[in-house]
Amino acid sequence: MASAGFAQDHRPSGGTGHLCCAYSGEDEWARSAAVFVRNGLAGGRRVVYFADTAAPETVVERLGRAGVDAAAAVDRGRLVVRRSGDSYLRRLPFDPDRMVAAWDRVCATAHGAGYTGVWAVGEMSWCARGIPGAERLLEYELRLNEEVFTRLPLTALCLYDREAVPGDVTALLTAAHTRRLVPDGRAVPVAAGEWPRPPLGATPLEDRTGFRLRGGADADTRAVLRGVLDALVRLPGPVVHLDLSGTDFVDTASVAALAAVAAAERTRGRRVVLHRPPHSLRRVAALFADECGALETVP
């Protein structure tokens, strides 16, 4: 995917429709969100913009200042602007299951109106305000690729305002995407170039169902691992993969959590395959062979 102006509406491989952008200030917003909206409209898609706290008319005005004919697009129904509090955050707590189902309705409505696809923008600053269910946002971001983007004619851009969202939260949640939007309008791999990385982060795999972990799994990152595992067990298919080649340490409690999930999934007839686990995990698994018997590891 070379740029935000993709030629196709539906991408069969997971992750390529899921973009993120961390920005600071109006200029960076205009070079990301406004460019994305303009390209979506130019491609004949319906564009849906979910603002955080700003009124819809304020967003339309901002888009207009950035060179998007937003007012005309709203009048024609091509651009829909809503506040998250009036839409998907109207009913709390935030629930990833409910959100996955909501995307089906958004795309069905657009299809019924004659659009070939939907481009969506979501301002994610609400995650830093203690909204009930915000702790499940990592799970949601990780689940989107397999549960939404592989099925629907949808491309979405998640916007993280660095001035509103703490840096560690921004790093964690942007890492859960496969592509990030850069100021010149290109969509590049999240791992490319200089990019903030959290102590433990997860990125969806693009060649198979599962995630790639980077960093260390210990007491300080326990909640992150829990979010990753909550997403993992909801992925479709008989086999899910966890690439651990980017992890430098997995403590005993984290190994136990992985083993418990693997055992539970085995009872459901599913396999959890751990790729290239670090020495720390292999050592714990060898010491506690019975407790870790459900772990399936490959070099």
Tens digit of pLDDT for each residue in 167-197?
A: 999 999 999 998 998 877 788 898 776 678 8
For CATH 3.40.50.300, the residue range(s) in the chain are: 1-196
Three-state SS for 205-237 is: CCCCCEEEEEEEECHHHHHHHHHHHHHHCCCCC
- The answer to whether residues 254 and 225 touch, using CB atoms and an 8 Å cutoff, is yes
pLDDT of residue 194: 67
Measure the CA dihedral 251/257/263/269, to 10°: -120
Q: How is the beta sheet containing 271-275 ordered, strand by strand?
A: 200-204, 210-217, 239-250, 271-275, 296-298
pLDDT of residue 192: 74
**Strand, coil or helix: what is 84?**
helix
CB atoms within 10 A of CB 199: 15
**Strand, coil or helix: what is 202?**
strand
pLDDT of residue 13: 34
Domain 1-196, architecture per CATH: 3-Layer(aba) Sandwich (3.40)
pLDDT of residue 1: 28
- Residue 145: name the closest of 244, 221, 226, 237 by CA: 237
Q: Could you tell me the pTM of the whole model?
A: 0.91
pLDDT of residue 4: 37
- The answer to whether residues 280 and 250 touch, using CB atoms and an 8 Å cutoff, is yes
133-160 in b/e burial notation, b at 16+ Cβ within 10 A? bbebbbbbbbbbbbbbbbbbbbbbbbbb
For CATH 3.30.750.24, the residue range(s) in the chain are: 199-299
CATH fold group of domain 199-299: Transcription Regulator spoIIAA (3.30.750)
pLDDT of residue 16: 61
Low-confidence ranges of the chain (pLDDT < 70): 1-16, 193-194
DSSP string, 285-298: HHHTTTTTTT-EEE
Residue 256 CB contacts under 8 Å (≥ 6 apart), including other chains: 291
- The answer to whether residues 122 and 158 touch, using CB atoms and an 8 Å cutoff, is yes
